[in-house]
Amino acid sequence: MAGVTVVGAGVIGLSVAHELAGAGHRVRILAAQDAAASTSGVAAAIWFPHDVQRSGSVLDSAAVTYKRFEELAGDPRTGVAMRAGTVLSRRTDADHSWTRAVPHHEPADPAGLPGGAGGVRCTVPLIQTDVYLAWLRAEVEARGVEIRTAEVRSLPEDCDAVVVAAGLRSAELLGDDDQAYPIRGQVVRLANPGLTEWITDEDNPEGLAYVVPRRHDVVCGGTGEAGSWDRTVDPEVEAGILRRVTALVPELAGQPILSRGVGLRPARSTVRVEAVPGHSRPVFACYGHGGAGFTLSWGDAARVAALIGAG
Distance between CA atoms of 155 and 276, rounded to whole angstroms?
Answer: 12
* Cβ partners under 8 Å of residue 26, min gap 6: 2, 3, 4, 144, 311
**CB atoms closer than 10 angstroms to residue 219:** 26
- Using only C-alpha atoms, the chain has a radius of gyration, in whole angstroms, of 19
What's the confidence (pLDDT) of residue 268?
96
Distance between CA atoms of 35 and 133, rounded to whole angstroms?
Answer: 7
Distance between CA atoms of 9 and 34, rounded to whole angstroms?
Answer: 6
| DSSP-derived pairing of the beta strands 27-31 and 146-149 | parallel
Q: Alpha carbon 309 to chain centroid distance?
A: 25
β-strand partners of 209: 201
What's the confidence (pLDDT) of residue 8?
96
**CB atoms closer than 10 angstroms to residue 144:** 11
Q: Do residues 159 and 145 touch, judged by C-beta distance below 8 A?
A: no
* Cβ partners under 8 Å of residue 243, min gap 6: 206
Number of structural domains, the chain?
Answer: 1
What's the confidence (pLDDT) of residue 215?
86
Distance between CA atoms of 132 and 152, rounded to whole angstroms?
Answer: 25
What's the confidence (pLDDT) of residue 65?
98
| pLDDT tens for the 311 residues of the chain, in order | 459 999 999 999 999 999 999 999 999 999 998 877 778 887 889 999 999 999 999 999 999 999 999 999 999 999 999 999 999 999 888 999 999 999 999 999 988 888 878 999 999 999 999 999 999 999 999 999 999 999 999 999 999 999 999 999 999 999 999 999 999 999 999 999 999 999 999 999 999 999 999 988 999 999 999 999 999 999 999 999 999 999 999 999 999 999 999 999 999 999 999 999 999 999 999 999 999 999 999 999 999 999 998 76
Print the domain residue range for 131.
Answer: 4-308
Amino acid at 79: G
Distance between CA atoms of 39 and 55, rounded to whole angstroms?
Answer: 23
What CATH number is given to the structural domain containing 158?
3.30.9.10
Structure pTM? Answer: 0.94
Q: Do residues 283 and 162 touch, judged by C-beta distance below 8 A?
A: yes
Q: Do residues 34 and 140 touch, judged by C-beta distance below 8 A?
A: no
Amino acid at 251: E
3-state secondary structure 112-165: HCCCCCEEEEEEEEEECHHHHHHHHHHHHHHCCCEEEECCCCCCCCCCCEEEEC
Asked whether the CA dihedral 265, 271, 277, 282 is positive or negative, the reply is positive
